[in-house]
Amino acid sequence: MGNEGNLAVTLDSGRELIDEGLFGGTGIAGSLQYERPAYIYGHRLKDCTAGAFTYFNAAGQTSAYRVHFGRYSQIGEGSVLGPPEHPMDWFSSHPFAFTRPKYMPNIYQLEDFARLGPDEKAGPSYVDTVPHETFIGHEAYIGAGSFVKRGVRIGDGAVVGACSVVTKDVPPYAIVAGSPARIVRMRFSESIVERLLKLQWWRYDLAPFKNAVDFQQVEATLAFFEEQLACGALQPLQPPAYRVVRRQGMLIAERLSRPLHFAAAAKV
C-alpha cells in the first residue's frame, strides 16, 4: 500500500493483508492495531495491539482479549490471554447482571437477553471496575496451552512455560512455569539482564547488522550492539502501522500516522 497517509481498504480475507505486513487476520474481532510485520494467522484477537515481528504459532487456536503484544513477542497455540472476568461475589456471575451493550454487542442481538440485560444508561459496569488490559513484553515468549490472567504484565524477554497459569506479573527475563506459575530461573545473569533492559534492542533496526553478529553468542552480540548504539549507528525501527476492524464480515484496514512504539523508538 506504500507510504501514503491514512488508507481504508475493504477486504474479504485476512490473507489479503499481506501487502500491509499482516499474515492472517481471519480471527480478528473488534479491532487490531499492529506494526508490520505481524504473524497472527487465524488466532482470535479481540481489541489487541501487536508490535513489529509479533509471531503466533501457525497451528492451533489462541484467544487474546485486550492484550498488548510487544515487538518480537512469540505466542504458542492453544493459549488464553487476558480473558474477561466475572464477579464472584455478586447475586449472579452471569453477564446479565453486569455487562453492557458496548462490551457484548452480540449477546444483545437476541431479544431475550436484551430484555433482561442492563442498558447502557444503567451506569458504570463491573467491567469498568477491574483491569481491562494485559501486557506481553517485547521478545516475551508464551508457551503453548498457557493461561494469562487479565491485567497481568509479562516483562520484556520473559518466558512462560507451556501449560502454565499466570496470575501475577512476571519480571523481565524471568522463566516461569506451573499452575500457578512461579519463577524457575532467570534467562541470564543479573548484569546481562540489566544491560539488555538498558539497550532495549527491539527499538532499533537490526537488519543492517544481521551478518555482523552471531545471535547464539549473547555477550558478544550484546557488546556489539551497545557499541553500535554508542557510536550512533543504530537507527530506530519505525515500521508502518495499521488499524484493522471487522465490519459485517469484512476487514477494514487503515494506515496509522506513526508506529505503535513511536515514543520509545524516538529516544535515540
Four-CA torsion 36, 37, 40, 46, nearest 10 degrees: -10
DSSP-assigned states of every residue in 161-187: -TT-EE-S-B-TTEEEEETTEEEEEES
Residue 78 grid cell: 492453544
CB of 172 closer than 8 Å to CB of 153: no
Closest to 1 in 3D by CA, of 36, 27, 25: 36
Q: In the β-sheet with 54-56, what is the strand arrangement from edge to edge?
A: 22-24, 38-41, 54-56, 74-75, 141-142, 159-160, 174-178, 181-186
The sign of the CA dihedral 76, 82, 88, 93 is negative
Q: Is 210 helix (H, G, I), strand (E, B) or coil?
A: coil
Q: Count the neighbouring beta carbons within 10 Å of the beta carbon of residue 35.
A: 28
Give the Cα separation of 151 and 134 in Å (integer). Answer: 5
Would residue 94 show up in a list of annotated catalytic residues for this protein?
no
Of 43, 86, 132, 138, which one is the catalytic site residue? 86
Q: What are the phi and psi torsion angles at 235 (to 5°)?
A: -110, 145
- Catalytic residue list: 86
